[in-house]
Chain A
Amino acid sequence: MMTPREMILKAFEGGKAERVPVTLFGAGMWSIKDYGTSFEELSNNVEKMVDMCVTEAEKIRSDVVYVGSGYNNFHALALGRKFGAGVKYREIGAPDLTEHFVHSEEDIAKLDKSDLFRDPVIKTVMDATMKVKEKIGNKYLVTMTCWGPFTLAARFVGEEAFMKYTFKKPAFVEKMVDFCADLLITLYEPLVEAGLEAVSIADPTASGDLINPKQMAKFAVPPLKKMSDWAKAKGAHTILHICGNTGDRLEQFIDTGCTTIFFDQKVDIARAKEVLFGKMCFGGNVAPVHVLLNKTAAEVEQACKEVIEIAGKDGGFILVPGCDIPPTITYENLKMFHDVALNWKY
């Protein structure tokens, strides 16, 4: 019998595993709440972070296990501490960056990528990632999460200003996203060298609801391609999620070179299959709020089956929610979501 890891790797190749592969995306907030801890508590406790990930992995039963989900802002924060940026922890939700500190090309020149490795929280997440991999990496595909270069760049600059700069200062935006691609490669380098098999990238600010297809092609795709080229050369996979309706730019996901793309619930998954099947593994797209949060388990079952019927019967497909899930979803619904795929034999 194939392991969950083998199932997902088979889908990455475009093939059919023994059953439909299934995973949440990130799920840090749900897991932390369910485990009964907080982002702040885990941020300096490798052992507890590892135990949380392992315990929740066995409970949730996703084929992919994400370490660091919810800590992505630290990748910008680490470089911004010397410019006055801080972190804000909260009761519910991921920790936030308190300042935006890059406003010009001169500011980019002042950033030091090696600050990543001086940040204690990033160190905790990196150490935990490799320990989780040691413990359950044979069974599940273990990955560490990050923002995509476009989203990360907007975190440095401030989202609203960054959006305007795509028109007003395009050269600055291109430079910044390229810097962020390099920064993320720097971050993952030691992990991939040590055997990490996948990089998990969320690029919500490049959402199909936010930027136009031309902007995506110009500013979001090239740095993703840079990351995926690097990962490929090292033998690692890249898992990508971009929010919003990206139905008018599906071909661009092939251009990113990423191993797989997880679609938002707004995307017509039948159309996505038409464009991507045979070219790129894709996942989707059960609505996290409308279905997983608000419907009964029986309705969740129905919704998952529908998505698989439409998009998943030929392989190269992974059952995934349309985005990360709210921490308030019931375990019953989450269990049902997984059960549908786990019991779906090809």
Chain B
Amino acid sequence: MADEAKKKEILEKLRNGVIQYDEDTCKEAAQEALDAGLDANEAIFDGLVSGMEEVGRLFEAQEYFVPEILMCADALYAGLDILKPHCKQMDIGVKGAVVIGTVEGDVHDIGKNLVKMMFDVAGFTVYDLGRDVPLDKFVEEQLKTDSELVCLSAMMTTSMVGMPKVIEKIKEKNPNCMIMIGGAPTSKELADKWGADGYAEDASNALKEAIKMVSFLKKLRDEKAARQQ
């Protein structure tokens, strides 16, 4: 086990690599983490994700915008690619599988990709349907994979009108499936009206919502760890 000071230094380096969108630093720090015998899950959550949480804050404070976030995401993935193969299966009592995509008629997928990243980080199995996804494809994929969560994204007032149809069809076939919608034209009001369980109004919000889920998982993990001690 690495000594505490070294561990702290590596986690800080991972975190800063993400915040400063520096892929090389993230790669380097991820390798150092493995070499020093750090737990890969810990390096991901307390290093990379911790950095992304700060990025989310900077985005909300309008210091960072989407290009910066995309660069940060690249840095995060650079570290994640190295760490992930060394992750222990996260047995946290939550089976996480999510179907995600941008609805038919809409090719805007930046927000969707950012949310997907957070699910990747959290160890969810992600079924990414991409963009401009035919509405029935969401329903089919949910049934096929028995995913607990479906995330629908739309960036245009004209494309979001497909969302309620998907929600209705999925809920009809599988009432327990949670559905999160997101994108600029959507609203909490619309999510409620259409029967969605969660909502994110923009990339920042989506990120925040996704981080909330990850943080929730983190909490479960910590609680479980505490119980085991």
Contacts and interface: CB of A to CB of B under 8 A. Distances in A.
Are A and B bound to each other?
A: yes
Interface of A: 29, 88, 90, 92-94, 96, 159-160, 163-164, 166-168, 209-212, 215, 243-244, 248, 288-290, 293-294, 323-328
A96 B132 contact: yes
Contacts of A327: 158, 161
B205 to A, nearest CB: 11
B157 interface: yes
A211 B203 CA distance: 12
Contact of B70 (A164, A215, A294, A323): A164
Given A209-B202, A294-B190, A326-B161, A167 B156 contact: no
16 contacts: A93-B158, A94-B158, A160-B109, A160-B110, A160-B113, A163-B110, A164-B67, A167-B68, A167-B71, A209-B65, A209-B66, A209-B184, A210-B67, A288-B185, A324-B158, A325-B157
A160 B73 CA distance: 11
Interface in B180-218: 184-185, 187, 189-190, 202-203
A92 B161 contact: yes
Contacts of B203: 209
A92 B165 CA distance: 14
Interface residues of B, number: 33
Given A294-B190, A326-B160, 17 more contacts: A93-B159, A96-B132, A160-B109, A164-B71, A164-B74, A167-B21, A167-B67, A209-B66, A210-B65, A212-B64, A212-B68, A248-B62, A288-B157, A294-B189, A326-B157, A326-B158, A326-B161
B220 interface: no
A159 B102 CA distance: 15
A67 B158 CA distance: 18
A164 B68 CA distance: 8
Contacts of A209: 65-66, 184, 202-203
Contacts of A163: 66-67, 70, 110
Contacts of A290: 187, 189
Contacts of B65: 209-212, 215
Contacts of B185: 288-289, 326
Contacts of A96: 107, 132
B104 A90 contact: yes
B108 interface: yes
B161 A328 contact: yes
Contacts of A215: 65, 67
A168 B190 CA distance: 38
Contacts of B184: 209, 243-244
B106 interface: yes
A218 B77 CA distance: 28
Contact of B66 (A90, A168, A210, A248): A210
A322 to B, nearest CB: 10
Given A163-B67, A323-B157, A289 B105 contact: no
Closest 6 interchain pairs by CB?
A: A93-B105, A326-B157, A163-B67, A212-B65, A210-B66, A289-B185
Nearest to A165: B67
A263 to B, nearest CB: 15
A129 to B, nearest CB: 22
A329 to B, nearest CB: 9
A240 to B, nearest CB: 19
A168 B105 CA distance: 30
B202 A159 contact: no
A323 B184 CA distance: 11
A94 B155 CA distance: 13
A93 B106 contact: yes
Nearest to A326: B157
Contact of A211 (B66, B107, B159, B190): B66
Interface string B91-124: 0000000000000111111100100000000000
A69 B190 CA distance: 26
A294 B68 CA distance: 34
Interface centre among B109, B157, B202 (most CB of A within 10 A): B157
B157 A289 contact: yes
